[in-house]
Structure 1
Amino acid sequence: MCRNRHSSPYKQQGSMLVIAIFIIVVISLLVASLSRILSSTADSVANEVYSAKAYYAADSAMEYGIYRALQNPPLCPLGPLGPLSTPFILTGEIGLENCTAKVTCQLIPGTTQYYLESTGTCDGGKIVAEHKVEAEVQYDF
């Protein structure tokens, strides 16, 4: 009887170790790429949230600006709601934490219209989102 020396268990020692190391490396790469995907997804969601908050802050300031423009007499062409007006304050508003808003208003020359521009900014540390809303309002007093 002749034995095949190539199939001897002594010649195959360590092959399972190489296969195990290869599998560990492949699984580690998969875990690292999955972690990166999840991290970028979390950043994307945070961007969407702060962007929506900035939009709603700007929209709220725009509503206030329209209210000011349509008062009789209009309180609008005083710059960014002027020194005589109270500032548009968002602190303490649920959902708009870390957000600021400002609105500017100016009379469009030769018309009975005001041009309003509102900017909402939300600062979330490493994420800062800003939205602008524009409107034209016509008054008939």
Structure 2
Amino acid sequence: MLTPVIQEEKTGCGIAASAAIAGLTYSQAKKVANQLGIDAADKTLWSSTTSVRCLLTALDKKVADETVPFTGWDAQPDCALLAVKWHLEQGVPFWHWVVFARDGTQAYVLDSKQGLKTHVRTDFGRMHPKWFLAVSST
């Protein structure tokens, strides 16, 4: 089972999700992100897939080149970044990154949002992903 990583910045969900997938702490992933020129305050971290894909690649993870529309939980790969809370702001899409993981028959979502009671979620009916990026080890 992957370990949840809590985002330390309001806009650090992409860094936290990457850290959880790579088995790192938030500060370790943030250090790598900053070395790549990626900062949590940069809106492209949650309005484009480029930054999080670059970070995961630097953390030795293979990330799909293209997003795949979400069609259901059973259709998810064993590890994926999901775009939830997808919305438009002045015509620009924004979302919150979460991690979907499946270990054998157990599926769960890691949500890095600070205020949650639990960061391992199985309340799939309450989450409404727009699309996902498959992630695997290189």
Q: Same fold (TM over 0.5)?
A: no
Greater share of helix residues, 1 or 2?
1
TM-score (norm 1): 0.29
Structure with the greater alpha carbon radius of gyration: 1
TM-score (norm 2): 0.29
Greater share of strand residues, 1 or 2?
2
